[in-house]
Amino acid sequence: MKPSADVLEIVACTLLILVSVVGNVCLFYSTRKRTAGRLQTSFLLIFSLVFVHLLKNLVVNVLKIVYSSGFMLDSAGCKVMHFTASLTTSLAIWFVLHFALFYHRKLYHAVHPLSEAPNPDHPKRSWKVLCALGGAGLAAYLPVLLYARKSEHHSAGNDTDPLSPNRIYVDCLIDYGNRQVEFYYGKIFLALIDILPLATLVFVCFWMSVLLLERKKMTYGDIWMGDDDSEVEILRGAKFSILLMWLITPLWISHFILVYFLKDLAACVFFPAVLTALSSGFSALSPFLLMLVHYRMKFVSFCGTREERPTPLPGEVILSPYA
């Protein structure tokens, strides 16, 4: 007997919730332990991502489990699910972009040192930026809570038919009551506030890749110069920002395309579970990547374990011609 769409979605939501909770709690604990009483911009960004990831899984996926278990959601439940899912997705994209810009600036200063010392990081300023992004997200998605309503056209179908695409993605569609509002706000505006930051993130990560190649080609005579802890963190932050971009962009694009063809694919038994995996996959997997940014071992690099260079003997030291 093949598993039903309800069972597959419940299993997918449960696994994503467990993985996300474990990953984000470990990320929060390891980052908090690393702070040692001092607050940094990177820690604020990570804490913000942890909050967004947990909110997405503990609200959206729990509502999906409730619906798949046989409990119908009213109009308020549908609006809360759509509002939380859309808001947390956009905030995750914006915070990842902020994270990438933060390490891009640091990497640029490391590759192209300024004549004067750069301004130190101000966590308070970063906190204001994060609060502004959160406020902008609430303002952008507030019409979903105020004016949207549950579509009654799709919920009038036969709920007892096991082959009927009676999924939350079809039965819980949002109807704004106005075609122009639905087109310009529900499709154009809400898509652009995700697409534009994603495009900017791709550009920033491409620029960081160029900077990493420039740094790799930098030479200091014939003398090997080790990296201190701050430089190691900058390199890891830049490399893992690129990995986060490669993770969140394909997931968002795939989810966007599948939702666009929702009516054609809704009858597929795997469709709800696939949409759930695409929408919550980043919140479940990204914490394990972010934990490596502040990883303490010095000889763990992006591609694997780096061998420790032996300390040269006194007779083997090559003096610099500039000494």
Number of domains in the chain: 1
DSSP string covering 29-94? HHHHHHHTT---HHHHHHHHHHHHHHHIIIIIIHHHHHHHTTPPP-HHHHHHHHHHHHHHHHHHHH
Residue 49: which of 106, 104, 15, 89 has the closest Cα?
Answer: 89
Residue 78 pLDDT > 80, yes or no?
A: yes
CATH of the domain at 285: 1.20.1070.10
Confidence of residue 161 (pLDDT cuts 50, 70, 90): very low
Residue 167 pLDDT > 90, yes or no?
A: no
Average pLDDT over residues 237-265: 89
How many percent of the chain have pLDDT more than 70? 74
Q: Is residue 214 part of a domain?
A: yes
What integer pLDDT is reported at residue 113 of this predicted model?
79
Region of 37 (left: φ > 0; alpha: ψ -120 to 50; beta: rest) is left
Average pLDDT over residues 80-98: 94
Range with the lowest mean pLDDT among 44-58, 153-167, 217-231, 264-278? 153-167
Q: Is residue 125 part of a domain?
A: yes
Q: Is residue 219 part of a domain?
A: yes
- The overall average pLDDT reported for the chain is 79
Confidence of residue 168 (pLDDT cuts 50, 70, 90): low
The larger pLDDT score, comparing residue 219 to residue 30, is at: 30
Average pLDDT over residues 80-108: 93
Q: Is residue 46 part of a domain?
A: yes
What integer pLDDT is reported at residue 162 of this predicted model?
43
CA contacts within 13 A on the Cβ side of 238: 25
Which run of H or E residues covers position 174? strand 174-175
Phi, then psi, of 174 in degrees rounded to 5: -100, 130
Domain span at residue 27 reads: 5-156+165-298
Q: Is residue 314 part of a domain?
A: no
What integer pLDDT is reported at residue 291 of this predicted model?
86
Residue 275 pLDDT > 60, yes or no?
A: yes
Q: Is residue 311 part of a domain?
A: no
Residue 121 pLDDT > 70, yes or no?
A: no
Residue 265 pLDDT > 90, yes or no?
A: no
Q: Is residue 313 part of a domain?
A: no
Confidence of residue 67 (pLDDT cuts 50, 70, 90): confident
Confidence of residue 117 (pLDDT cuts 50, 70, 90): low
pLDDT in tens, 123-140: 678 888 999 999 999 999
What integer pLDDT is reported at residue 131 of this predicted model?
92
* Rounded alpha-carbon distances, angstroms, from residue 205 to 50, 58, 235, 240, 294: 22, 30, 13, 10, 19
The larger pLDDT score, comparing residue 269 to residue 102, is at: 102
What integer pLDDT is reported at residue 14 of this predicted model?
94
Q: Is residue 76 part of a domain?
A: yes
